[in-house]
Structure 1
Amino acid sequence: MGLLAVAVAVICVAAAGISRRKEKQKEEDTLKVGISIYQSDDTYVNLLTKKIERQLKACEKQQGIKIHCKIVSAENDQNEQNEQVEHFAALAYDVICVNAVDRTNVSTMIDRAEESEIPLIFFNRQPVQDDLRKGQHIYYVGSDAQESGRLQGELVASVYRKDPAVLDKNGDGVVGYAVLEGETGHQDAIIRSEWSVKTMTSSGVPAKRITGGVANWMKEQAAAIVGRWLKEEEGELELILCNNDDMALGAIETLRQEGRTDISVVGIDGTEEGLMAVRDGKMLGTVKADSDIYAEYIARMVCGLKKEGTVPKEILEGHDREVWIPWEIKICPELEE
């Protein structure tokens, strides 16, 4: 009886050992991806994260591996985002993706990822170059802010060339414009605004700045700002250049409520709602960064870093750390050249 008990105990211990090894193997075979976004109510970033999830599921089927993806929001708090990255690192996530709250203050996250030897992919909000060079596996996926501004200005110029009256509604020979900026001091907001106006005017559009404001990328804030503008301006405002589609949609909402059809609005991003507004003739146009390509590249980078320990060369296209997603102009169908 004693021998039987010993035998049973040995079998139980062995079984437990096998179970633990299987569990460990299962965990090792699972690709764990942590994604931290700067805030939860940014339409374009939410669109991106949903598509990244979808692409990761496709990779799961194609490569026969289990992928666990955890998405969290820092709600515009850099300290909170630092803690989220710390949490991912402590749980030994395989890859961490970050849409940074403060692009100039990412060192803590980079140091933690490097210490744990975890690849870190920034997306949509670009850190400064010195930070990108701090580690071996620090990457950035995004679109060129200057190009988006340039194309927005080109979009306006193409409409003016076709029919100046579309923009110069009061017929005074000058297009009165305003700029809705995304964020005070934000690199993309500054560059998009500068290059949009510069390209528009250098392409032959006679323009005069009427006013401007900062709406922090938000639809509601943009709607409120445009409401104030309409109470103050005296028929000179004819065009609103917006740093993103959400703010453009907020501007359009207020203009429609006030019955103002004499002011055109353009955006940047190419969100689903923004593209619909362009198709419906509510928005003059937008500049689109293909979110499908964006998401596909990030998913392929994640899977490549797990499987091969590196990013596929065809994605980097000659760059060692940065992946650039191209922009394209989307204009109201009846105004296409």
Structure 2
Amino acid sequence: MELNKLFKGMMAGAMSLSLAACGGGNDSTSSTAGGAEGGEGEVSVFYYTFGDDYISTVRAALDANLKEAGVVFNDYDGGNNQTTQTEQIQTAISKGSKMLVVNVVDTASKDAAKNIIEMAEAAGIPVIFFNRSVDEDVITAYDKAAFVGTDYEMAGKMQGDMVGDYLNANFEAVDLNGDGEISYMMLKGQEGNAEADARTQYGVENANAKLEAEGHKPLAYYKADAPTKYELDKDGAWSSAQGTDIMQNALSQYNEDNGDMIECVIANNDGMALGAMSALQNAGYNTGEEGSKVIPIFGVDALDDAKKAIDEGKMTGTIKQDGEGMAKAICTMVQNMTSDKDKFDSLDAANVIGTWRINIPYSEYKAS
């Protein structure tokens, strides 16, 4: 890649500074948020965007953990732009960063992560990728690399099981037009994202398996002629605003008056789920008031707002993606990998996969 060639040419002058930074002490709790500055000896933390609700929980927890551990760090906002993030990484290394922690923007191909690995290796500094999927062969190509993530297929499977169990227990109430099948909307989030792909697949497959086991028809997509059985956030940001817009547009055509109301919403994150909930509330559903009709909505992340909505009867369930647990694991690994310990030292071995990754477990959150 031309960008990488340019960077490698630049690295010769900066290499001695970068290597010296690897031995820097962790004697400060200061950080410079926003990524405009940075300096020698910092741990550089790169987020795909500060605007993602779940990533915000990881960032808040990781900032607190790193400060408590006495680690000098700097947060960088990639603004959902891989070119921006790559340039931030180049700058941080040239200024003497001693470690990279990366929530990579572009997950549609291996190129972005491979380029970052090559930059870290050229500088001789460790790198941790987190949350957004990076392939095993990319991570294992460098012995100072690791990944902190989840078994993202499990999130979809757990969500699908939750959907199926709920629909089996409430089938007649959910089947608003009484046609014997449940019409659903799937809010995918982003095309080409491994987590989104798996949640989209298993959120439906596992729900259908539960339904069919009880003699019910499988889920039916609300747009029978749709080329894909999901709706995308056009900006790839998994946002509540897009969840609202998509649902509002759908309700203008698919509604109870027309006999084809969307009867269930499956969302790949809580942000889009909450957005869909807002649109439904504007149409008189899911208000939490006695007698209000409820369209079941399922998400992933267990954000505080989603848990509150579930407790109030406005949302149905979510799968907890443990942002605090992810942050704690990253912080431990930062300390390990900057002090020549095994990268997974002091972490639960049951969650470690080979020599390259650790998975943070999921759990259910639903009304009691």
Instruction: Please indicate, yes or no, whether the TM-score normalized by the shorter chain is above 0.5.
Output: yes
Q: Please tell me the TM-score bracket, short chain as reference.
A: 0.7 to 0.9
Structure 1 distance, partners of 2:210, 2:130, is 32
Pairing 1:167–2:174 present: yes
Aligned residues: 303
Matched residue, 1:5: none
User: What is the CA-CA distance between 1:319 and the residue it aligns to?
Assistant: 2.3
Query: In the TM superposition, what are the counterparts of 1:212-251 in structure 2 within 5 Å?
Result: 212-215=230-233, 216=236, 217-233=238-254, 234=258, 235-251=260-276
Matched residue, 1:129: 136
Gaps of 5+ in 1: 1-23, 61-66
Matched residue, 1:9: none
Instruction: Return the letter of the residue paired with 1:200.
Output: A
| 1:226-249 superposed Cα distances (whole Å, 9 cap, x missing partner) | 001001113331001101000000
Instruction: Return the letter of the residue paired with 2:252.
Output: K
Instruction: Return the letter of the residue paired with 1:209.
Output: Y
TM-score of the superposition, structure 1-length normalised? 0.85
User: What is the CA-CA distance between 1:34 and the residue it aligns to?
Assistant: 0.7
TM-score of the superposition, structure 2-length normalised? 0.78
Contact 2:300–2:320 (CA under 8 A) maintained in structure 1: yes
Please identify, of 279-288 and 202-211, the stretch whose mean Cα deviation from structure 2 is larger.
202-211
**CA distance 1:136–1:228, shift in 2 (3 Å):** same
Pairing 1:328–2:332 present: no
Contact 1:149–1:193 (CA under 8 A) maintained in structure 2: yes
Structure 1 distance, partners of 2:364, 2:274, is 17
Contact 1:98–1:121 (CA under 8 A) maintained in structure 2: yes
Matched residue, 2:95: 91
User: What is the CA-CA distance between 1:166 and the residue it aligns to?
Assistant: 4.3
**CA distance 1:300–1:166, shift in 2 (3 Å):** farther
2:57 to 36, 41, 47: 47
2:190 to 183, 186, 190: 183
Please identify, of 225-234 and 304-313, the stretch whose mean Cα deviation from structure 2 is larger.
304-313
Write out the 4+ residue segments of structure 1 that deviate beyond 3 Å after TM superposition. 26-31
Query: In the TM superposition, what are the counterparts of 1:1-337 in structure 2 within 5 Å?
Result: 28-30=25-27, 32-60=42-70, 67-103=71-107, 104=109, 105-204=112-211, 206=217, 207-211=219-223, 212-215=230-233, 216=236, 217-233=238-254, 234=258, 235-260=260-285, 261-315=293-347, 317=352, 319-333=354-368
User: What is the CA-CA distance between 1:130 and the residue it aligns to?
Assistant: 2.2
Structure 2 distance, partners of 1:301, 1:254, is 41
| 1:169-203 superposed Cα distances (whole Å, 9 cap, x missing partner) | 33322111110111122221111100110000011
User: What is the CA-CA distance between 1:88 and the residue it aligns to?
Assistant: 1.9
Contact 1:159–1:166 (CA under 8 A) maintained in structure 2: no
User: What is the CA-CA distance between 1:278 and the residue it aligns to?
Assistant: 1.4
Contact 1:169–1:262 (CA under 8 A) maintained in structure 2: no
Structure 2 distance, partners of 1:148, 1:302, is 26
User: What is the CA-CA distance between 1:225 and the residue it aligns to?
Assistant: 0.7
Instruction: Return the letter of the residue paired with 1:76.
Output: N
Contact 2:336–2:345 (CA under 8 A) maintained in structure 1: no
User: What is the CA-CA distance between 1:308 and the residue it aligns to?
Assistant: 2.9
Q: Determine helix, strand or coil for the equivalent of 2:319.
A: strand
User: What is the CA-CA distance between 1:95 and the residue it aligns to?
Assistant: 1.8
Instruction: Return the letter of the residue paired with 1:47.
Output: T
Contact 2:176–2:261 (CA under 8 A) maintained in structure 1: no
User: What is the CA-CA distance between 1:136 and the residue it aligns to?
Assistant: 1.0
Q: Which has the higher helix share?
A: 1
Gaps of 5+ in 2: 1-20, 28-40, 224-229, 286-292
Contact 1:35–1:70 (CA under 8 A) maintained in structure 2: yes
Q: Determine helix, strand or coil for the equivalent of 2:274.
A: helix
| 1:74-119 superposed Cα distances (whole Å, 9 cap, x missing partner) | 1111111111111221222222111110122222211110111111
Q: Determine helix, strand or coil for the equivalent of 2:247.
A: helix
Identity %: 25
Instruction: Return the letter of the residue paired with 1:291.
Output: G
Contact 1:285–1:330 (CA under 8 A) maintained in structure 2: yes
Contact 1:114–1:135 (CA under 8 A) maintained in structure 2: yes
**CA distance 1:166–1:324, shift in 2 (3 Å):** farther
Contact 1:269–1:286 (CA under 8 A) maintained in structure 2: yes
